[in-house]
Structure 1
């Protein structure tokens, strides 16, 4: 699979030639790069290391030898089909020889190349399929696929068709999700929003759309000399995530004034039944918001704001806003790139030397330290996803023998499971935290020893809600404003959480990891493709490794507020 070094090589060779071909479209160099990675990256990433010239590499970018017996439905399904077409014999000789030539450099094709009836069906850097031989034979017979401008032109034409099918042709800019959707249309001829990115060719672990999205994000981290990469490449064990979105609304600025409780942000200008059903966020008293138009609708004002890094867009009660006397740009909080090394620092429950905390033990304040614990250390999205899946399977929250997570005596352990998941993934979510008086000393620069019941206390789900709000950004966490963004981050191998604070402080809140979609494991989406129930893994009254749970559980009347958090 191509990596960032391969993408840099590709951009050095072709970026200047791609850019003018995309003029007047919302398509990007990074998207075209991603398609090249997905279609023939397994070939050219190897060939470039053999110091072959660019023209030779382009000529060898051929593939797809599957015939009807392996599921091919398009023309030609067999050698006989091709030979029966006009100039089919000449095309077969070209297609077979192309396979033989490529196999001399790519050992994995040596076996199929030795079979005299086998031939390639895909030609050029962007894999023009041989089914088009019937309508455009000269492209293949004249080997135009070996010329970059020719193969690029056909690729861009097909992408433009995808833009039109999705109604995106007049847009000046597209999100990565939308670009991947266009790529799915390029690959399949259409796009079904309700399926998300799980569309296109399935290679046994990933669908075409998922892999393409990964490559688009990776391409964002690579820039030519003198240029600025769109995204910063993360260290090993962390996912590629875009920065928090800025507020773009340009209407009048207000401040929340409730003097009673948090202000509910709703998805539409009305109070739903039940009244929490359309709540998408909660804003604290005094928080700044920017109106979209400034015109109330049924007593509600459409607003935007940023909350702990999340772009919040919705409707709030106009009577609970006051004009901001001295408006300033609404700050967008970015998470810290590393744990703090001074002041208020991370803390863990001290343990006796040689002691081991195991999954089979009953829950306690210690973090797991069993031998052979899986970790998240990968440098690409697919590896990170597989590592997170391995962590979930190793924790085996649903296994009765793992007493650490099993409900008992009216107690549940969602907080401990969320901590363990984050801990193994290399992300700090505290199991214990500093007491109030210890925090004061730490803030003044003093050193404080962790002593349970004295300077540190255990955290429940309600406590974790407050910790994320008060300290999360300093420890790499930020909120996100939608379930779709939350699931998208998890799908890149990031850590996602849904957390809800109970109204009654003595009652338990709830916290659940949102985990990557793998294979047929997937979130629920509506007809427009928006996530309505992300893929989750939980300990609670019922434990499960993967599931979508009760729809909108965090909006339950028993909860005072809820939030979605992500960590790279």
Structure 2
């Protein structure tokens, strides 16, 4: 595993060169550094420990000694290489590169005794020797020993992979899109339906998963003259920033007078009608259009909901002109609908009598769990955060309804809300089991100190209540609304606390909330042929309890629900 100290050394040492190489491209220094970390990061620490200079470390970065039958690309063997023009010369260079590196890096002692062994990867970014056939001078002249040369060659390859991914006309890309380019860099192509589980597999993680983690970790490392970074506390991650607004057309406002306006992924009403709905826009909400024309009676627009920009199609008849006197950049919600300041209202928990223990084995009430030995979300890397989330799931174990009565459905009662609360609480995230009643909120707003009293000042929160709580208070407690299941699953895979929640049309009926959790080798989300996540990996209690399952695709878009939303918390 590449240590944070080595990542910091690389980023600080080569920041100026990385910045210059990526300016004017869709890439940035963190993205390119992630490739370096994956390709040669394991070599830096032992060489740094021996006091080698940065130039020596760059010169000695080589690797990949696998021959046929474990290698199918050119050159499969020493003989395969030597059969090419100047191949014997190249073998001597490749052999010496391996021997020089093995003097400083443990694990390569075999090189001296196995005289046919040589390296296939060269430079900090590991250009494969298969390119010797078309670029022999790069290898024969040992250009890869210079950082500027290996960086320049890597940038050329990344731009080629960007084109292969169909992203050549973009002015910016998301971190997730970069990872798909990096997988193409490693394998020559990206298979969307496999997600990040592709590329070289080291027995624990795939190349794509490593790059995804490296980018997230590098984003948290500050360097002199670099951008400001957010360093999370132990047990927290950092969510990538929401997508920036792209619309430049006229400002409009939702004008329905009675209901919300559905924002759809295509300019058409789906069947069922909720299938292509990505958000519901409140009456009076500002949106910004793409262009001035309608498509099939719909306008393509962007809207900011809880700080996240949603892009889709809304029925044109319910959009009125609202061009302001001065340009509004970026999209901002109307004043009455802004989320409250963080902790404008303090969190509340159901108080308990001294020595009272609330257990998973007992039927649920208003109290939160407080058993001994409860796990929590911990660590400072995505890998550590994921592992601790899986520990939380194993501890709560909602599918074991015979053992854990707290989550077992009985009669018409189900307990998705309680499982979600317990999951969040153990992960260090506030998601209320009880919340202040209206009178108490008024008293708090007036400056009074209010005690939590069941049925007097606080009430239990059902899924429908929690849906409204997230809309009203979620942003103030660190929750960020997410625009797509693909984005939500990727946040979960980085160790964030994620959920999908839906509110019933019939407020007396139960809504539903399901936690979206990190994928494992045995449990994965479902993806469409284009790579979009159609069903995230979830963990829930409810009418059906499970620790891991992708569940029913688009369950939250059922016509029994009035509205739904996806949320993540760092």
Normalising to structure 2: TM-score of the pair? 0.91
Stretches of structure 2 lacking an aligned partner (at least 5 in a row): none
Structure 2 residue matching 1:527: 3-state secondary structure = coil
Q: Deviations over 1:13-72 (max 9, x none)?
A: 323334444466433322221110110112114433443201211133222233446x33
Which of 270, 289, 296 is the equivalent residue of 2:287? 289
**Are residues 1:387 and 2:412 paired?**
no
**Are residues 1:300 and 2:298 paired?**
yes
Q: Which residue of 2 aligns with 1:184?
A: 183
Relative distance call for 1:47 and 1:371 in structure 2 (3 A) is farther
Q: Which residue of 1 aligns with 2:367?
A: 366
Relative distance call for 1:407 and 1:115 in structure 2 (3 A) is farther
| Matched-pair contact (CA < 8 Å) for 1:419–1:429 | yes
Q: Which residue of 2 aligns with 1:530?
A: 532
Q: Deviations over 1:362-403 (max 9, x none)?
A: 222222222222211221122212221222222211123122
Q: Which residue of 2 aligns with 1:9?
A: 9
Take 1:197 and 1:216, find their aligned partners in 2: how far apart are those partners? 13
Instruction: Give the stretch that moved more between structures: 90-99 or 269-278.
Output: 90-99
Task: For 1:452-491, list aligned pairs within 5 A.
Answer: 452-491=454-493
Structure 2 residue matching 1:42: 3-state secondary structure = helix
Q: Which residue of 2 aligns with 1:204?
A: 203
| Matched-pair contact (CA < 8 Å) for 2:250–2:323 | no
Q: Deviations over 1:124-182 (max 9, x none)?
A: 21112233445555544544332222322332232232123223334332222222222
Take 2:136 and 2:277, find their aligned partners in 1: how far apart are those partners? 57
Instruction: Give the stretch that moved more between structures: 95-104 or 356-365.
Output: 95-104
Aligned length: 563
| Matched-pair contact (CA < 8 Å) for 1:246–1:306 | no
Normalising to structure 1: TM-score of the pair? 0.91
Take 1:502 and 1:351, find their aligned partners in 2: how far apart are those partners? 31
Relative distance call for 1:326 and 1:468 in structure 2 (3 A) is same
Shift of 1:467: 0.7
Structure 1 residue matching 2:14: 3-state secondary structure = helix
Shift of 1:101: 4.0
Take 2:356 and 2:151, find their aligned partners in 1: how far apart are those partners? 61
Shift of 1:88: 5.8
Q: Which residue of 1 aligns with 2:36?
A: 36
| Matched-pair contact (CA < 8 Å) for 1:236–1:379 | yes
Shift of 1:533: 1.5
Task: For 1:67-78, list aligned pairs within 5 A.
Answer: 67-68=67-68, 71-78=70-77
Which of 229, 232, 235 is the equivalent residue of 2:230? 232
Relative distance call for 1:123 and 1:252 in structure 2 (3 A) is closer
Structure 2 residue matching 1:260: 3-state secondary structure = coil
| Matched-pair contact (CA < 8 Å) for 1:26–1:169 | no
Q: Which residue of 2 aligns with 1:430?
A: 432
Instruction: Give the stretch that moved more between structures: 42-51 or 549-558.
Output: 42-51
Shift of 1:508: 0.4
Shift of 1:94: 4.7
Q: Which residue of 2 aligns with 1:269?
A: 267
Take 1:373 and 1:113, find their aligned partners in 2: how far apart are those partners? 51
Shift of 1:524: 2.1
Shift of 1:302: 1.9
**Are residues 1:410 and 2:412 paired?**
yes
Structure 1 residue matching 2:57: 3-state secondary structure = helix
What is the alpha-carbon root mean square deviation over aligned residues? 2.7
Take 2:17 and 2:398, find their aligned partners in 1: how far apart are those partners? 52
Take 1:187 and 1:133, find their aligned partners in 2: how far apart are those partners? 17
Q: Deviations over 1:225-261 (max 9, x none)?
A: 23323x5232222222123334332222222232322
| Matched-pair contact (CA < 8 Å) for 2:303–2:309 | yes
Stretches of structure 1 lacking an aligned partner (at least 5 in a row): none
Shift of 1:334: 9.8
Take 1:496 and 1:180, find their aligned partners in 2: how far apart are those partners? 21
Q: Which residue of 1 aligns with 2:308?
A: 310
| Matched-pair contact (CA < 8 Å) for 1:238–1:379 | yes
Shift of 1:350: 1.5
**Are residues 1:59 and 2:59 paired?**
yes
Structure 2 residue matching 1:550: 3-state secondary structure = coil
Q: Which residue of 1 aligns with 2:146?
A: 147
Take 2:164 and 2:243, find their aligned partners in 1: how far apart are those partners? 28
Take 1:372 and 1:559, find their aligned partners in 2: how far apart are those partners? 38
